[in-house]
Amino acid sequence: MNFIIPSIAISILFMIYKIIDMKYITKEEIKLKTITKDSLIVFLCSMISMFALEQLNINELIGNSKESLSAFTNEPDF
């Protein structure tokens, strides 16, 4: 349930990237309303995707489960 901190970090990084892109690369006027709206969408999408990945338990689907396998290591009885 700790999705808020990574989602905030992702949206802040997106906001910084968007400001740098608009200021130096495309040299457009910086509109904070559109940048804030886009960052909010990125925040919500990252929250939803992290929640979905936790609910799907993606490690079991890939096969990276951490369950220990049992193996017979003693002398056989027959």
SS (H, E, C) 24-41: HHCCCCCCHHHHHHHHHH
**Residue 18 and residue 38 in contact, taking contact as beta carbons nearer than 8 Å:** yes
**Residue 18 and residue 35 in contact, taking contact as beta carbons nearer than 8 Å:** yes
Q: What is the per-residue pLDDT across 28-62, written as a single tens digit (0 to 9) for each?
A: 898 999 999 999 999 999 999 999 888 888 767 77
Q: State if pTM tops 0.75.
A: no
Tell me which residue has tokens 């040299």: 27
Which uninterrupted H or E stretch holds 29?
none
Note the pLDDT of residue 48: 95
The model's confidence at residue 16, banded by pLDDT at 50, 70 and 90, is very high
